[in-house]
Structure 1
């Protein structure tokens, strides 16, 4: 017995000394094993040099210090957070071997492929964030193994199929946060989601969901955030059961096709601070019960079919900062109580039928930042309190019946940046200092009855004003010398007033001005030669004044001027021959002056018609037979005269032709030798795949045959290829000048498309290159480009003829808009396409639109609100280029919006952007505006005659959007996100049809 006790004691002592060593050894083994798993994961990541430099074999004994890793007291990995590390590649199932994970986040990267469903094996997982990547496939996992899961965030990926009904109360009883928005989920919202009674956040917005919003969501009584709109298209109305969500703080069901009235039950949501129901088809009047939402700060019900007046109960919304009711059918007066909402900052009620006067104390709360009441039937005077507190930035009241003077307080409103008061009955003088306010960038006061002078200012060294439109008023006096202080001015319209005196020479200091109109005044003196310093000028109208003297020849130094009108003055002497060298000048009017001598028969003068020279009694235009001098009377005679002077002996022509033929043969032989040296051997090519491919370089090269050519362009040749597995691809072989690896256009296209995964943007599958050639491999679009289809009578599909009917055109417009909206608003970094046109919108087998060809794309610095970028040269396609881009080389996302507006015009009219209008220089935008006077009700005048049974309201809405997109001023164009919303609104039920 004693012996046994002695041995047991000895064993215990040995165990006590050995246990720490054993435990340490176990920890070391665990550390090495976890390090091995992490390094295995890293092998499938790309762009890891900076982000994951600490993940090294030599550092495997201290993985808890690695970037993005957290451990528990036993040195076991519990958190892996590599969000926003700019990584790409894919996540392998190896990650599931980290079985102690509680937190996993890979968000904000560019991972693609299938996210491993084996993640369900990590039963301890509480937080899973895979948002803002490019994962695809479905989420039909067995969630029942994730009993501890509290957060599932899969926002902004490419998941598809139905929403996972496996996410239910039994499977994930602790789930609090569920975000499946920004994907391609289709079908209905599973009613079982209504059983997730712990849920506090639910977002399904930005998918392709249909059906009704299930009433069962009203059971989520712990819910604080609910987002269901944007790209989804639901049937029916807003479920009244939503009113039972007593803890709801944020409700966003905008832009998703909802119909019917707003349920009164929403008034029960006392904690709600945000209600967004904009861009739907809601009708009826505003429920007075909404006034019970005492916490409401933001209310947006714009772009619907709502009617009636604003209920008096809204006076109880004391927390309201934003009220958007624009583009509805509201009527009656704007209630006086709106002026007394203590926190109101933004009020937009434009395009309704409000009447009466503006509330007299509006702005008196000292918080008002933006006010837009335009296109209503408002009368009376402007309140003097609008800028009380000096916070007002935007004031838009155009197209009303407003009377009286501008309040003096506006002349001291230093916060003002944009003011639009055109098309009213305003009178009196412009307040002193108003036109020189420091932040002012746009002023429109046209078509009113303003009197008095354009006042001088000596206290302002410079100004931010870019657009000043004072047209059609009764302003008088001289144009002040301080006009030169507007160093950033781009548009200056002073036409249709009573200005007198000379044009100040300081006008030459407006180096950035694009359009200048001083017509229909009483200006006298000469045209100052300093106008030639306005090097950005494209439009100059000085007609219908009392100007005299010559046209300064220096005006020819304005190399991009394309419109010049000096008619109806007293100008004299001869026309400067230098004007003939102005290749950009396509329209000029010298009529009804006192010009003398002969019009030079050279350059641009030959393109001006006879009306350009009428009313000049002693002016000779020999090539138009407007003269009695003995000079050649026709252009043909001029040409034949020129031919006689330049005749070359025939023998020299023969020698020249033979030399040219020999040079061509030598060039062809050298090209063949070079091609043979390059060869097509796969080993000489490098293949970069942007997703898993079932084919290789040799298969791609096999497609490069003449019989496979499906398109040619300035960028190169496009081939169709059929891979061994039957997959169809398009291969763009870049042309000469696009072959070097440092080519900026190629680099842009690869960087842009390689990481984008969006339903309505064409997929770049791979990039293939050798020393001489670059190939871009895309998914193949069987129906070619929209341009090819819309501008040909028909297209072939399934061996039959398919006409592009109205509903298909509208669908294509919405889909292409969604693709561009993604680039402008949701991509990281944000992207400007710079070459939006119908030929760059490709159509799949079912005519689904895909934005393509990113060879000119640029990253948008500073986000959507960043400054315009200045390009070194004009890029894009003729007929689609926005005015500010063509004339200033400055580009932002609104340049794409203009180009998309042209595409909408093509879809509506069936005409090409240029060349279909019978007049030199006229494009589709000018033609459509002229034919319709830019009124949507006149869309029938320009509608494609191939279209039948077009819903009139739809055609009007699409044309209205197109007109907005092609506004001359970029600031007046909508964003692509707004375009998507307005186009979605075009689909209206029960509309009568055209034709």
Structure 2
């Protein structure tokens, strides 16, 4: 029952639905608290209540659902601490998302591991024991006691006062030295530039923040008349955990090595990078129209104040641009490059909606084009991940073809990649619609914004191409060169 504009509170009679395994009320306007009766549905495996206006605490009774493997409560107004007994669920195999709420307190220690690093984002009052997910550290009890003792003794206050005074004096006399860029920062440019490290560092402020994700923040920096341009700077999260640090370092190196060595009109341009022992900054050309995801799906956001529309010719042009970028990576680079995280939010739009492929943190050079290679872990984004990852962990450039097929289906249907409904993703939903009506005269499948008879045949062709690209067998999918040829006809 997702995306049905349901209002009001969740009824407390749910305990009678004892046989339900999947319960999905996401993307509605539900309010009130989560009724305790919902935790009596003993057979439930999936509980999806994200994107509502639910408030109150997460009941501790949730641990009673022994079969629960997917719990999505993100994008609500839930408050209070995370129940400690939440780890009694199918930990560590449960998929959990509590982001974009108002939760407080410490994240239970068992959840401070890599697979949960995106599960608690955008909860300003959460803390962790070791900077997990870039959250602030929790204040320990003995430190509080130490502060109280220091405040009691006047001598300690005097010492603190003197230290503060000495610090200010030192800062005053070393001001001129501080005006120069810190020697620990190093700027590496891939082309001639008219700005320096200080121009970047001084503008990493909240008013310039345009995006934030699991791996970092993105800032829009206007360089002024002297520099005459605008750039985008991605700050990679600093992490104290050794495992997380290694993962982010590998993604940073992959982005530098790949984007620093290739040039194509439909691949976002990496202008340079700044690095230190504490942080990494990637400098890109600024794409003024944001991402394709924002244009396709912002209209579904109830908090959005504007309705942004893309007509079919612009969508077709974006598809062709993105296909050109991927075709270059697969067929013109030696060795071939697999992006491994193709999605609408990684397709950026510039002037005249010219599209470019971005975010190469997961990209990987292939030893031999077309030959599958083993990977150690599933990478990518939910809804875009090729099904072969779930069984063999083998990959080649066909994983990008599958993900691009999902993007084509997004362009045609206007649906999100994970918005098939129920337990389906978009690709599964589209294939089911096709099997129900193979003539593809599916008016209701097409996004209402592009139901123009003048483009009906072309829209249906792209829908079919999206289905071919999302076939479950990698060998049945077209190559990106073939996909581009079809789109350009």
**TM-score, length of structure 1 as denominator length:** 0.31
Match in the other structure for 1:930: 432
Corresponding residue number in structure 1 for 2:381: 877
Instruction: Evaluate the alpha carbon distance shift between residue 686 and residue 947 of structure 1 in structure 2; reply closer, same or farther with a 3 A threshold.
Output: same
RMSD: 3.7
Q: Higher helix fraction: Structure 1 or Structure 2?
A: 2
Query: Who is 1:612 aligned against?
Result: none
Aligned partners of 2:284, 2:140: CA distance in 1, in Å? 36
What SS does structure 2 have at the residue aligned with 1:861? coil
Alignment partner for residue 726 of structure 1, among 228, 253, 263?
Answer: 228
Does the 8 Å CA contact 2:264/2:325 hold for their aligned counterparts? yes
Distance 1:910 1:747 in 2: 34
Distance 2:397 2:209 in 1: 33
Alignment of 1:571-586 (within 5 A): none
Q: How does 1:791-830 map to 2 (within 5 A)?
A: 791-793=297-299, 803-830=309-336
| Alignment TM-score, normalising by the size of structure 2 | 0.61
Give the strand-richer structure, 1 or 2: 1
Q: What corresponds to 2:448 in structure 1?
A: 945
TM alignment of 1:421-500, pairs within 5 A: none
Partner of 1:960: 464
The corresponding residue for 1:747 is: 253
Q: Within 5 A, what are the aligned runs for 1:412-423?
A: none
Question: 1:665 deviation in Å?
Answer: 3.6
Q: Distance in 2 between matches of 1:636 and 1:869?
A: 40
- What's the counterpart of residue 887 of structure 1? 391
Classify the secondary structure of the residue corresponding to 2:450.
Answer: coil
1:703 aligns with 2:203: yes
* SS at 1:968 equivalent: coil
> d(CA) in 2 for partners of 1:840 and 1:981?
22
Change (3 A) 1:638 1:828: closer
Distance in 1 separating the partners of 2:44 and 2:264: 51
- Cα deviation, 1:175-226, whole Å, max 9, x if unaligned, reads xxxxxxxxxxxxxxxxxxxxxxxxxxxxxxxxxxxxxxxxxxxxxxxxxxxx
| Cross-structure match for 2:69 | none
Larger Rg, first or second structure (1 or 2): 1
Distance in structure 1 (CA, Å) of the matches to 2:397 and 2:439 = 25
Aligned partners of 2:330, 2:459: CA distance in 1, in Å?
26
Residue 772 (str. 1) matches residue 278 (str. 2): yes
Contact between 1:939 and 1:959, CA under 8 Å: does it hold in 2? no
Of 25, 38, 44, which residue of structure 2 is paired with 1:606? 44
Q: Tell me the distance in 1 between the aligned counterparts of 2:456 and 2:334.
A: 39
Counterpart in the other structure of 1:664: 138
Per-residue deviation, 1:703: 2.1
Whether the 8 Å CA contact 2:420–2:428 is kept in 1: the answer is no
1:976, 1:935 → 2: CA distance?
24
Alpha-carbon distance change, 730 to 936 in structure 1, aligned in 2, over 3 angstroms: farther
What aligned pairs does 1:583-732 form with structure 2 within 5 A after superposition? 605-607=43-45, 664-665=138-139, 681-724=181-224, 725-732=227-234
> CA 1:742 to 1:707, structure 2 compared with 1: closer, same or farther past 3 Å?
closer
Give 1:961 deviation, angstroms: 0.8
Q: Is the 8 A contact 2:385 2:399 kept in 1?
A: yes
Inter-partner Cα distance in structure 1 for 2:317 and 2:228: 29
1:841: how far off? 0.2
Residue by residue over 1:328-350, the C-alpha shift from the partner in whole angstroms, topping out at 9 and shown as x without a partner, is xxxxxxxxxxxxxxxxxxxxxxx
For structure 2, the residue ranges without an aligned partner over 5 or more in a row are 1-20, 24-38, 48-60, 66-84, 86-104, 109-126, 130-136, 145-170, 172-177
Answering whether residue 371 of structure 2 is matched by residue 897 of structure 1, we say no
Cα displacement (A) at 1:608 = 8.7
1:602 Cα deviation from its structure 2 partner: 10
SS of residue paired to 1:957: helix
SS of 2:326's equivalent in the other structure is helix
- State the match for 1:911 in structure 2: 415
CA contact (8 A) 1:936 1:960 kept: no
Distance 1:871 1:637 in 2: 33
Give how far 1:802 is off: 5.3
SS in 2 for 1:791: helix
Within-5 A mapping of 1:48-447: none
**Using a 3 Å threshold, how does the CA distance of structure 1 residues 788 and 742 change in structure 2: closer, same or farther?**
closer
Distance 1:802 1:709 in 2: 21
Change over 3 Å in CA distance of 1:743–1:908 after alignment to 2? same
Shift of 1:959: 0.8
Paired residue secondary structure (2:416): coil
Give the conservation status (yes or no) of the 8 Å contact 1:718–1:730.
yes
Shift of 1:682: 4.1
Q: 1:637 to 1:903 in 2, by over 3 A?
A: closer
CA deviation vs aligned residue, 1:66-104 (integer Å, no higher than 9, x gap): xxxxxxxxxxxxxxxxxxxxxxxxxxxxxxxxxxxxxxx
Contact residue 767 and residue 774 of structure 1 kept, 8 A: yes
**What is the CA distance between 1:804 and its match in structure 2?**
0.5
Q: Give the whole-Å Cα distance in 1 for the aligned partners of 2:438 and 2:264.
A: 35
Distance 1:728 1:792, change over 3 A: same
Deviation at 1:606, TM superposition (A): 3.0
**Structure 1 residue 935: Cα displacement:** 3.1
Whether the aligned pair in 1 keeps the contact of 2:297 and 2:414 (CA below 8 Å) is yes
